Amino acid sequence: MGDYCIRYKTCPCGDKVDVTLIFMREELLYDIKNYAYIEGHVMGEEKQHAQHTLVDIGEEGNVDRVNRVLAVVHAGVVEMLYPYTKEEVAEDVIDNMMEEPEEYAIEMRVPRTMSITTIRFIAKLIHEYMVYKVIADWLHITNPQAASHWEMKANEMAEKIQSAKNHRTYAFTRKTHPW
């Protein structure tokens, strides 16, 4: 399946396409655990307790923090992709219940002129961004000195997402000359 899934639906208005990006929780957790394992082993023996705490990021109890951070990061990505993710306000109840969804979906309405390659690129960037933000948050707790590196990587992904979001390809037309 990969680290994301894309669903398309033609919008009734004709000039837009409804796209849903789906990020599987298990795929995100897999990468988070792998990066935590690597970062933990880079820390060295002198920080053995912090190393174990970092590597245990996906264990029971610890994963609750990961779930909360993933929920916040997902909401942030949806906001980052505004105006493609804009929704009207509806009567709804919003609570702070712990969530552990199987997937994180981002529903967008994009111009028909947006390239599928751009959408695929954005999806890959979002996956990395979500993973980096969780690692940075966890490192703020377990090894604050290393957190800034992952926060910087997350910021780089955010900048790339913004840049790709604003990049659209239009058909190139050349004006004809009268001679």
Predicted local distance difference test score (pLDDT) of residue 51: 54
- Residue 31's contacts (CB-CB under 8 Å, 6 or more residues apart) are 3, 127, 131
Predicted local distance difference test score (pLDDT) of residue 155: 98
Q: Give the burial string for 112-132 (b: 16+ CB within 10 Å, else e).
A: eebeeebbebbbbbbbbbbbb
Q: What is the mean pLDDT of each run of 10 residues along the chain (179 residues)?
A: 66 81 95 87 61 62 88 96 89 79 94 91 97 94 89 98 79 57
How many CB atoms within 10 Å of residue 80? 17
Residue pointed to by tokens 């840049």: 163
> What pLDDT digit, counting tens, does each position of 122-147 carry?
999 999 999 999 999 999 988 888 89
- Residue 101's contacts (CB-CB under 8 Å, 6 or more residues apart) are 25
Q: What is the C-alpha to C-alpha distance for residues 94 and 102, in angstroms, rounded to an integer?
A: 19
Predicted local distance difference test score (pLDDT) of residue 145: 86
Predicted local distance difference test score (pLDDT) of residue 154: 98
Predicted local distance difference test score (pLDDT) of residue 172: 46
Predicted local distance difference test score (pLDDT) of residue 161: 97
Residue type, 152: M
